Amino acid sequence: MALPACAARALGPPLQPEQGAPARTTCPRRHSRVEAELAVSRPGSVAASVRVGPPRGVSHGFNSQPLLDEPLKASSSLAGAVHAPLFALLSRGRRRRMRDLRRRWDLGSLCRALLTRGLAALGHSLKHVLSAIFSKIFGPLASVGNMDEKSNKLLLALVMLFLFAVIVLQYVCPGTECQLLRLQAFSSPVPDPYRSEDESSARFVPRYNFSRGDLLRKVDFDIKGDDLIVFLHIQKTGGTTFGRHLVRNIQLEQPCECRVGQKKCTCHRPGKRETWLFSRFSTGWSCGLHADWTELTSCVPAVVDGKRDARMRPSRNFHYITILRDPVSRYLSEWRHVQRGATWKASLHVCDGRPPTSEELPSCYTGDDWSGCPLKEFMDCPYNLANNRQVRMLSDLTLVGCYNLSVMPEKQRNKVLLESAKSNLKHMAFFGLTEFQRKTQYLFEKTFNMNFISPFTQYNTTRASSVEINEEIQKRIEGLNFLDMELYSYAKDLFLQRYQFMRQKEHQEARRKRQEQRKFLKGRFLQIHFQSQSQGQSQSQNPSQNQSQNPNPNANPNLPPNLIQNLTQSLSQNSSQKENRASPKQNPGQEQPESNTSNGTHDYIGSVEKWR
């Protein structure tokens, strides 16, 4: 397309490359770019006088004047002769494309362009950061030898594989329990779960002397028969947790049926519609709320077999169990429970066939409950049943006239109650301690030959532990519960001695089984050894008759060679020692007959076979 005459005169003659400028190339696009640069550098030209604008189709600003409306700004040499716009110098197709670009250029396109540029810049900076990190980490390796591109790719692949493994591990095991268990399994052996539960030394020095019958508590509990386990639940000793373990956490042929929303569970014997457990979560408070020893021993037989005639009742074995707790912690926990509104008004306190009168057992408060009472007021009440509660609930109250304090002097009464509580506790089928949960579980399993599904959990943080008291208050609480303090010391000593005795018995039983296994293998080897010797002698005497027979038909090819070698060495050592011991007793020219050794061997083998 030809230019106007005024524009042609303004542009002047065609541009010539200056000296030192690049020569014209065969590429027209590159040639036009070079000519444009020369035109801009030439003073007085139109191209130099026009302001450098934005790229094609892009205006100076979003709200600026469109490119088509900008006037042509010529230099002073034009002298105002040129008033046509620059848009007129473009071809028709180029003008159409510029109009289309202007219509499509909007805010969304600008945002997309900015987002693309920003992501590209972020990726570039991240690449530099990662390269700097790798250079810091693997600097020593780079000093040994320059890492080429393949090594960098291999390193990146290893890092990606590690991240993938971590993601898979988090997906398979989202918690930290199994990961810690795996780390412990690889790092160190599993510690004994029964050692040092109370953060004290595992070794303890016993204070009381107990007989073997007192320490060996193994009950022949027949769940399919008529035996019954009776749980004596003392307040604030962790009995609720232990009671739930009895109905929800024991491996049974017929487990207890516990329905959602109901506190009581149905614990029937296998094949019978009769319970084997008398507790809060199986039969409820059938003998009253938190019934004590005096109430349970007179109430349970009547409740279980109340509908039957006395002559038709089966001969049951009632196995009583309970849980004890440190008296100071139990006392503070009961005080906090009373502060929240607990009263235990439903407790019957039946003794000798009748409940106590209001004069025998006065109340410490006048309202409906004792909620919000301070600790000092709780300790000042002389009729508070929280004082020495564990001794009172484990003793036979009929020995001291029940709740009538005028029957005997206080000192004599306390002595009788303490001795009765110790005797009942010692002759119980089982008792546990709140401070030793895993040992309690172990002794229960060994006593009743019943295993729990999941292990017990030791909670060292309780409501009582959150109460901060000074030394003076603690001594006063110990003085108010001096009978419980002595009973707990006695119970803790008996409990730990029983635990140590059962553990030693278990280790001795395992050692005895290993020795019997060794004796059996040794006797079996002796039998095979002498049979092979006798067959070898018979083959040497009659070689023609025994060629087709198996020289050792009874030999056991499954015996390991190491065991055979060890047994052979031990037998040779034993035989040499026996010969050395018997050599002084023999005459120098006589030989010991073989009948004695063969008879002794056959007797030993016979005893082993008999044991087998």
Predicted pLDDT of residue 508: 93
User: pLDDT exceeding 90 applies to what percent of the chain?
Assistant: 43
609 lies in some domain:
no
DSSP for residue 321:
E
Q: How confident is the model at residue 554 (pLDDT cuts 50, 70, 90)?
A: very low
The predicted structure's pLDDT at residue 108: 59
Q: Collect all residues with Cβ–Cβ distance below 8 Å to 312 and sequence separation of at least 6.
A: none
Could you tell me the pLDDT band of residue 573, with boundaries at 50, 70 and 90?
A: low
Instruction: Indicate whether 584 belongs to any domain.
Output: no
Contact 200, 248 (CB under 8 A): no
**Pair of tokens at residue 147:** 């890492």
Q: Does 577 score more than 60 pLDDT?
A: no
Per-residue model confidence (pLDDT) at position 393: 97
pLDDT at position 584, please? 45
What burial letters (b/e) apply to 162-172, b meaning 16+ CB within 10 Å? eeeeeeeeeee
Number of domain units in the chain: 1
In a domain, 137, yes or no: no
Q: Quick one: what percent of the chain has pLDDT higher than 70?
A: 61
Average pLDDT over residues 238-261: 94
Task: Determine the residue type at 40.
Answer: V
Per-residue pLDDT, averaged over 88-108, amounts to 67
At 90 the pLDDT is: 67
Domain span including residue 428: 209-510
User: What number of residues does the chain have?
Assistant: 612
Report strand pairing: 228-232 vs 277-278.
Answer: parallel
Residue numbers annotated as active site: 290
Mean pLDDT of all residues belonging to the chain: 75
Residue 552 contacts residue 531 (beta carbons within 8 Å): yes
Which pLDDT score, from 0 to 100, does residue 92 have? 74
What is the per-residue pLDDT across 369-406, written as a single tens digit (0 to 9) for each?
A: 999 999 999 999 999 999 999 999 999 999 999 999 99
In a domain, 11, yes or no: no
Q: Does residue 139 sit within a domain?
A: no
Q: Phi/psi zone of residue 128: left (φ > 0), alpha (ψ -120 to 50 degrees), beta? A: alpha
- CA–CA separation, 545 and 205 (whole Å): 73
pLDDT tens by residue, 298-326: 999 989 887 666 566 678 899 999 999 99
Inside any domain, residue 316: yes
Q: Which helix (H) or strand (E) holds 464?
A: none
- Asked, for residue 134, whether it belongs to a domain, the answer is no
CATH of the domain at 314: 3.40.50
Over residues 101-140, the pLDDT tens digits come to 666 655 556 667 777 787 778 777 777 777 777 676 656 5
Confidence of residue 95 (pLDDT cuts 50, 70, 90): confident
Q: Taking the model in full, what pTM does it have? A: 0.58
- What SS3 state is found at 274? coil
Q: Is 140 a domain residue? A: no
**164-221 pLDDT tens trace:** 887 776 665 554 445 444 444 444 444 555 554 544 445 678 999 999 999 998 899 9
